[in-house]
Amino acid sequence: MGIAALGLYSQAIILFAALALFTSFIMLAQARMMPLIFTFAWQGLLLAVVSVLTAIASKHPELYVSAALTFTLKVVLIPWLLYRLSIKLNMQYDAEAIEHPTLLLLGGVALVIFSYFVAQSIIHLSGLATRNTIAVSIAIELLGMLLMCVRKSAVAQVIGFMSMESGIFFAAVVSTYGMPLIVELGVAFDILVAAILFGVFFFHLKDSFGSLNVGQFNRLSEANQPMPLRDAAGEPSPGDPS
């Protein structure tokens, strides 16, 4: 059914979903630290709004809870945490060079198409008005992962991780009006702890590597390690007078 046929709320939901997707793209392209964090907060906000709208539209009060969780975590706590940390580690002005940004964005677009293609097979199942946005949620998740794959800074990786989670959250909201409460709480708790641990690790990393550039963390590489001695291969040669 075309979007025109939908109710206003649904249209709004789809609109905000699209915006959230857009923020993912911005994050993908955003090289500087502070704006990245803010964009992440924005995405969280959009998702919270979507949850609220869904709650209103579908009269699912418990969605308010998940909206609230989203808001507190993704809009307030985590961005704040990251903000403080990046100031503490005075990297608020850091900007990393993204190689082939256009290629990256094109890749993102490809991912969106891919996730649409993937979602096709299951979309028919949901009776909800918001079902078209499942593809969007998948896309947000994959884009978050893409972000983690390409960004050097640990902070950026954390943001990518978090935006993956948002994507999943979003999927839960739009496909099934959220998860059972206990699960949502548990997930939220985990994410919170994770965020705190990330914070702790930033310091450790800074201490031991002097920077948060994860590209430099390859002390445990095996790629350019020589093989152990041959004699260990237990290759005696029969014929040798032993």
Partner 1 sequence: MSATFGTPLLFAYAAVLCTLLSGAVSLLAVRSRPGFLHFGSFFFLFFSGAASIAAGGWTLLAKLTVTDHFALGLPWLDWHLRIDPLSGFFLVLLGTLAVAISLYGPSYTREFARGPAAQPLPPLGVFTALFVLGMQLMLLADDALVFMIFWEMMSLCGYFLVVYQHQHAANRQAAFLYLLLAHVGALVILLSFGVLAAFGGGLTFDQMRAAKLTPLWATLSFACAFLGFGTKAGMVPLHVWLPDAHPVAPSHISAMMSGAMIKMGIYGIVRVSFDLIGDVRWEWGMVVLIIGTASSLLGVLYALMQHDLKRLLAYHSVENIGIILMGLGMSMIFLGSGHKMLGTLGLVAALYHTINHALFKGLLFLGAGAVLYRTHERDLDHMGGLIHRMPVTAFLFLLGSVAISALPPFNGFVSEWLTFQTALQAPALENGLLRTMMPIAAALLALTGALAAACFVKAFGIAFLGKPRTRRVARAREVPVGMLGGMGLLATLCLLLGVFPTTVIEAMGPITQLLVHEALPSATAQGWLWLTPVSPQVASYSAPFVVAAMVVVFGLGYLFLKRGTAPARRVYAWDCGFGQLTQRMQYTSTAFSQPIRRVFGGVWKIEERVDTLASAGLIPRVTNLNYSLHTYDWSWLKCYVPIGRMVLAAANKIGFIQTGNIHTYLKFSFVTLLVFLWIVS
Partner 2 sequence: MTLTLLEVTLLVPLLGGLLLAIVGHRPIAGWINVAVGAVTFGAALAMALEVFEHGPQLSPSRMFYIDAFNVYLVVLTAFVGLTTSIFSRPYMRHEVERGRVTDRRLRLYHSMYQCFLFSMLLALSTNNLGVLWVAMELATLTTVLLVSLYRTPEAIEAAWKYFILCGVGIAQALFGTVLIYFAAESKLGGERDDTLLWTVLHGIAGGGLDPAVITLAFVFLLVGYGTKVGLVPLHNWLPDAHSEGPTPMSAVLSGLLLNVALYALVRVKMLVDASLHTNLAGHLMMGFGLLSFTVAGLFLHRQHDVKRMFSYSSIEHMGLITFGFGMGGPLATFGALLHMTVHSLTKSAIFITVGHACQLAGTQRIDQIRGLIRTQPAIGWGLLLGTVAIAGFPPFGVFISEFLLLMATMKAWPWLTIPLLVGFGVAFAGLFRHVQRMVFGEPPPGQKPVAANMLPVVVHLFLVLWLGLAIPGFLSRWFEQATVLISGASPL
Name the site residues for partner 2 (rule: CB under 8 A). Answer: 118, 121-122, 125-127, 141, 145, 148, 154, 157, 161, 164-165, 167-168, 171-172, 175-176, 179-183, 186-187, 189-190, 193-194, 197-198, 200-201, 204-205, 207-209, 214, 217-220, 222, 225, 227-229, 232-234
Question: Binding mask 167-206 vs partner 1 (x if CB under 8 A, - otherwise)?
Answer: ----------------------------------------
Q: Which helix (H) or strand (E) holds 152?
A: none
Q: Is 67 helix (H, G, I), strand (E, B) or coil?
A: helix
C-alpha distances out from residue 48 to 28, 88, 98, 134, Å: 21, 28, 29, 16
Closer residue to partner 2, CB minimum distance, 94 or 184: 184
Instruction: Report what 201 binds from partner 1, partner 2, none; CB cut-off 5-8 Å by kind.
Output: partner 2
Q: Token pair for residue 152?
A: 């050097």
DSSP characters over 59-73 = T-THHHHHHHHHIII
* Residue whose entry in the numeric block shows the structure tokens 């699912």: 60
Contact partner at residue 7 from partner 2, partner 1, none, CB < 5 to 8 Å by partner kind: none
Q: Which of 21, 146, 158, 212 binds partner 1 (CB under 8 A)?
A: 146
What CA–CA distance (Å, rounded) separates 22 from 50?
A: 14
Q: The tokens of 51 are what?
A: 């949850």
What angle, 0 to 180 degrees and rounded to 10, lies between the N-to-C axes of helices 133-150 and 154-176? Answer: 170
Of residues 80 and 117, the one with the C-beta less far from partner 1:
117
Contacts to partner 1 from residues 210-239, by CB under 8 A? 214-215, 217-225, 227, 230-231, 233-239
61 makes contact with partner 1 (CB under 8 A) = no
Say if residue 135 is exposed, middle or buried (CB neighbours under 10 Å; 0-12, 13-18, 19+): buried
> Which partner from the list partner 1, partner 2, none does 61 bind, CB cut-off 5 to 8 Å by kind?
none
Q: Does 97 bind partner 1 (CB under 8 A)?
A: no
Residue 116 binding result from partner 1, partner 2, none, given CB thresholds of 5 to 8 Å by partner type: none
Which residues, at least 6 apart from 166, have a Cβ–Cβ distance to it below 8 Å?
Answer: 20, 43, 44, 47, 70, 74, 140, 144
Number of amino acids touching partner 1 (CB under 8 A):
37
Q: From the list partner 1, partner 2, none, which binds 193 (C-beta under 5 to 8 Å, kind-based)? A: partner 2
Cβ of residue 8: shortest distance to partner 2, in angstroms? 25
Under the binding rule (CB under 8 A), the answer on residue 99 touching partner 1 is no
CB 197 within 8 A of CB 78: no
